[in-house]
Amino acid sequence: MTSFENVLLSCKSRGDFEPAWQCFANTYFFVPVLRNDSGEQTKDFRFSISTYPQDGKPYVLVSEVLDRLQISQSSEAIREIGGKLIAMLNPELGLIIGLNDGGFAMPADLLGWLRASLQRVAP
């Protein structure tokens, strides 16, 4: 189990997710992307977007563990810190965090709240 997963499980049991959001913002995640460039570094890309079966809305799958992602032949993964990642996402996108026992959905409205919270505390 990863560090973010441990914090998330602890928060679920207490019913207080504030520590999970702080941990998320400072955790590195792998994210599948579709490259628009070539070379050693990926600088020009689009996020690989999927539809979440439970609500039919667009989500981006991320995970601290690369092996938990299904990377297609046309995509690859980058690694990005959670706080920067949500700043990069379009506001209508949510995240699904691949965990050891499934996934944890963060819908677009939760990411919007988290994005605004992080902007208020940024120097």
* pLDDT tens sequence across 19-44: 999 899 999 999 999 888 777 777 77
pLDDT, one tens digit per residue, over 70-122 is 777 667 899 999 999 999 999 999 999 998 888 899 999 999 999 998 877 65
Question: Percent of the chain, pLDDT > 70?
Answer: 94
Q: Would you say residue 22 lies in a domain?
A: no
Task: Tally the domains of the chain.
Answer: 1
Instruction: Confirm whether 98 is domain-assigned.
Output: yes
Does some domain include residue 2? no
Residue 101, in any domain of the structure: yes
Report the Cα 90 to chain-centroid distance in Å: 12
Query: Does any domain span residue 105?
Result: yes
Domain assignment present for 50: yes
Task: State the pTM of this model.
Answer: 0.86
pLDDT tens, 110-120?
A: 999 999 988 77
Query: For position 93, what pLDDT does the model report?
Result: 95
Give the pLDDT score at 122: 55
Find residue 61's DSSP bridge partners: 96
CA atoms within 13 A on the CB side of 43: 4
- Residue 43 inside a domain? The answer is yes
> Is 13 domain-assigned?
no
Which pLDDT does position 1 carry in this prediction? 64
Find the domain containing 37 and state its range.
28-121
Residue in the block written with tokens 């706080």: 83
CB 82 within 8 A of CB 49: no
